[in-house]
A and B are shown apart, each in its own frame.
Chain A
Amino acid sequence: NAGVTQTPKFQVLKTGQSMTLQCAQDMNHEYMSWYRQDPGMGLRLIHYSVGAGITDQGEVPNGYNVSRSTTEDFPLRLLSAAPSQTSVYFCASSNTGAGGTDTQYFGPGTRLTVL
């Protein structure tokens, strides 16, 4: 199994541009989530999904959209990039019925810089 994969690894955007961060998992996990990590802030939950067709907001959802059309994929869209969205983004997945509060499997991250 590849586990949780994320693309791209690095991205530089200009203010106002849009882009999609890709996340895929091959473990048939129902629960998937996106976090951002900023220095001194730990990880903050952006959006999460408990299954295909179901998404919900986390702590810091503004400026981001998600969709979950398949169990495997959970893309994160930046609608109009802002410098405040410069961060490292992590996707995670989990298997159990209590998915969000059980062991999370993380991808390697995407480092995004917005100029």
Chain B
Amino acid sequence: SQQGEEDPQALSIQEGENATMNCSYKTSINNLQWYRQNSGRGLVHLILIRSNEREKHSGRLRVTLDTSKKSSSLLITASRAADTASYFCATGGRGNTDKLIFGTGTRLQVFP
């Protein structure tokens, strides 16, 4: 069964706008990660946030984690056409330290 579910499923914005994607999960986690997948390519790791962290930044990316609500958000600021991709959250569970469970993804389209 899927652990994480992203919302929205698809998002279209103009260059320069901010993009926000949300991820909800069901059980306790050790960490939560975000990955990007360009069309026809493998996944690329973006950022990892641990369960004892609330916010993390990396360049134009900002990730928040609310363990009480079992949710996370990924904010991409000042988006570019090159940000067009699918974005997945993945959770590493406390009870399953050898497994990473992926959500269904958000398809982001950034128009020039």
Query: In the bound complex, do residue B45 and residue A48 qualify as a contact, i.e. CB atoms below 8 Å apart?
Result: no
- Residue B102 contacts which of A35, A40, A50, A103 (CB distance < 8 angstroms)? A35
In the assembled complex, the Cα of A62 lies from the Cα of B34 at a distance in Å of 28
Chain A 42-73 interface residues, beta-carbon cutoff 8 Å to B: 42-45, 48, 50, 56, 58-59
Contacts of A105 in B (CB 8 A): 45
Total A-B pairs, Cβ < 8 A: 74
In the assembled complex, the Cα of A104 lies from the Cα of B98 at a distance in Å of 12
Query: In the bound complex, do residue A103 and residue B48 qualify as a contact, i.e. CB atoms below 8 Å apart?
Result: yes
Most buried by A among B1, B31, B43: B43
Query: In the bound complex, do residue A101 and residue B88 qualify as a contact, i.e. CB atoms below 8 Å apart?
Result: no
In the complex, what residue of chain B is closest to A108 when comparing beta carbons?
Answer: B42
Query: In the bound complex, do residue B42 and residue A101 qualify as a contact, i.e. CB atoms below 8 Å apart?
Result: no
Chain A: how many interface residues by the 8 Å CB criterion? 29
Over the window 57-90 of chain B, the binary record of Cβ atoms lying under 8 Å from chain A Cβ atoms (1 yes, 0 no) is 0000000000000000000000000000000101
Query: In the bound complex, do residue A48 and residue B102 qualify as a contact, i.e. CB atoms below 8 Å apart?
Result: no
Q: A106 contacts the other chain (Cβ, under 8 Å)?
A: yes
Q: A74 contacts the other chain (Cβ, under 8 Å)?
A: no
Interface residues of B (CB under 8 A from A): 1-2, 4, 30-31, 33, 35, 40-45, 48, 88, 90, 92-93, 96-105
Interface residues of A (CB under 8 A from B): 4, 31, 33, 35, 40-45, 48, 50, 56, 58-59, 90, 92, 98-109
16 A-B pairs with CB atoms under 8 Å apart are: A35-B102, A42-B2, A45-B100, A48-B98, A58-B99, A98-B92, A98-B97, A99-B98, A100-B97, A100-B98, A101-B92, A101-B97, A101-B100, A103-B45, A104-B45, A108-B41
